[in-house]
Amino acid sequence: MPIVQISRIQHRRGKRTDLPQLAAGELGWVVDEQKLFIGNGTVADGAPAVGNTEIVTSGSSAFTTALAHTYKGYLGDSTPVGTSQQRTLQQRLDDYVSVKDFGAKGDDSTADVTAIQNAIDEIYKDTDKDDTRSRRVLFFPAGIYRINAALKIPPYAHLVGEGPDKTIIRNSGNNAVMVTQDDDGNVGADIGNSGATTPTQIQISNMTLRNTVAYGGVSLDRVTKAFFNNVKFQGSYASGGADASTSKGVTVNHSNATYSTSNVTFNQCQFTKFARLVDISYNATNVRFHACDFSTAYYGALIGAEMDGSTAGLNNGPRDMQFTSSSWSTIGQQAILVSPATGATGGAGPRHIVSHANFYDSTVANNFEGVGSIREVPIIQFDNDECTSSQDFFERTELRRADGSTALNVAPEVQGIGVTSKLIKTQTLFNNKSAATPINEYPSLTSKGISVKYKITRGTLDRTGEFIISASTTAVSFDDTFTESGATVGVTLSAILRNYDSTAGNDTVELAYTTTNSGTDATIDYQTTIIA
């Protein structure tokens, strides 16, 4: 209601303990706390409640007692279900923690490593570390946070930025951007000492981890259950450069046979400009890379290169690693290289390494020299068993004669021990071909077993079958088992061993066909599986 009159100004003064119930509109000055109060008046007069209301002054404790928050919904007028809970603004703001609350600037000039580490330790490692209420999300507003030492990430850390190339942690020291620690602050070989909680339940999202020197992005030391979402791992490697063993986008370290990194997921992450985008030799299981982008490196994923079968932590090697629905480009050597189990016994070594539904650009595995380079290597190389490539797309043509004449792809897409299941293809088989005509070619630099499951349609006729090829560099044999609907379709499949490179011997298995003269072309839909 409008104010129609002002009768008088009333006020009292004294100590807080002597503050009485003030009359409506009466002022009370608390001299010992330098605070000012005004009387509410009665409910009958329209006051929400009988009492005194503090008027904010320079002496007010605004964030602890004076200002309050009650949830009102997104429209600001909802009625809470049940009893409404009033909270102070301080309590409300403490639900959300920013590294800037600890002095980090993110201005690309201030040394922020101490401030960031203090924030991480305060929330996840210090005296209240066992109270789950302390494990808040730590927010990094957009900016460039300069550090010169690795940030140590403890159990239950949850770091969130505003997105890659918006929130950037920029390291200039001779170390990784991040390493993991236990809840007592131990790192490396000391993680887990004296019953400390090893790194677990770690989440990092929406930021760039950038290293300006030839060192790593993140080192996962004895970690279980870590999740990286929409994180860009960026190093300083330049396309065409040499390998550098310290430049690793993601790596694992143990130095102890008791612990093994496990259950780690990278989702929608970017890995770029490290000599080795992923380098994992220590014991690790259940590591997933999904919908990621890998670019500009000497190696893509180097798996098991340093394991020896005996050193603590290097005795078994990585197991159950999957790369799915990801893209790979500008990588000089193999996109995925699974090393043999050097010195290992009892079936040790990298196993169950899976590549599924990935896109491999033509700029992969040709020493940065383009398709047809004499220094091409396999795009994927499995040198240990129980490995699979399925439904992958290789932009580098699988044909040995890349230009249709004499130029050769020196290496196949996938080589080594494992199974390669290719995508389904469709091709026309032309009418009246009496000479064997190529359908597809498969490099035969090593012995391979090839299964081609197919369906041939010719007019109203069709055939379904499986064409099996056994091939080496010196001989080829095949068997065609099929069922036809009624009359024969008039197509004969064969496998031929070709020598397109006189210096290499027989190097290509050619899947070919002949057709009768029925006046109608045929169509073949086929999928190839290669066992090597």
DSSP secondary structure, 377-398, as one string = --SEEE-SSS-EEES-EESS-S
Q: DSSP for 130-160?
A: T-GGG-PPEE--SEEEEESSPEEE-TT-EEE
Is residue 4 domain-resident?
no
Give a yes or no: residue 3 inside a domain: no
- Do 269 and 398 have their domain in common? yes
Query: Under a CB-based contact definition with an 8 Å cutoff, are residues 278 and 271 in contact?
Result: yes
Q: Bigger pLDDT: 498 or 65?
A: 498
165, 192, 220 — which closes off a domain? 220
The closest alpha carbon to 421, from 398, 456, 388, belongs to: 388
Question: pLDDT digit string (tens) for 433-476?
Answer: 999 999 988 876 567 889 999 999 999 999 999 999 998 878 88
Question: pLDDT tens-digit profile of 57-82?
Answer: 766 665 445 456 666 665 555 555 55
Judgement on whether residues 243 and 310 belong to the same structural domain of the protein: yes
Q: Are residues 68 and 102 in the same domain?
A: no
Residues 437 and 367 in one domain: no
The verdict on 193 and 279 lying in the same domain is no
> Is residue 227 situated within a structural domain?
no
Region 46-53: what's the mean pLDDT?
A: 87
For residues 186 and 255, state if they share a domain: no
Q: Tell me, yes or no, whether 225 lies in a domain.
A: no
Same domain, 418 and 442: no
pLDDT of residue 168: 98
413 and 433 belong to one structural domain: no
Q: Is 415 in the same domain as 278?
A: yes
Number of domains in the chain: 4
Q: What is the pTM of this model?
A: 0.82
For range 156-165, the mean pLDDT: 97
| Separation CA 31–CA 37 (nearest Å) | 11
Token digits of residue 309: 């079968």
pLDDT band with cut points at 50, 70 and 90 for residue 111: very high
User: How, if at all, do strands 200-211 and 167-171 pair?
Assistant: parallel
Is the per-residue pLDDT at 340 higher than 90?
A: no
Q: Which of 92, 120, 149 is the last residue of a domain?
A: 92
- Can you tell me the mean pLDDT for 321-336? 98
The reported pLDDT for the residue numbered 94 is: 79
Q: Is residue 135 domain-resident?
A: yes
457/385 same-domain check:
no
Q: In percent, how much of the chain has pLDDT > 90?
A: 57
207, with CB counted inside 10 A (0-12, 13-18, 19+), is buried
Partners of 484 in the β-ladder: 463
271 beta partners: 233, 294
Residue 3's pLDDT band, with cuts at 50, 70 and 90, is: very low
> Is the pLDDT higher at 325 or at 507?
325
Domain span at residue 38 reads 11-75+86-92
CA 317 to chain centre: 20
Residue 102, token pair as written in the block: 């600890």
Tell whether 1 is covered by a domain: no
Q: Are 291 and 268 in contact (CB under 8 A)?
A: yes
Give which of 11, 33, 30 is closest to 19, Cα–Cα: 30
- Asked whether residue 111 falls in the same domain as residue 208, the answer is yes
Residue 74 is predicted with a pLDDT of 54
- SS3 category, 17: helix
Same domain, yes or no: 410 and 274? yes
pLDDT mean across residues, the chain: 87
Provide mean pLDDT across the span 219-223.
93
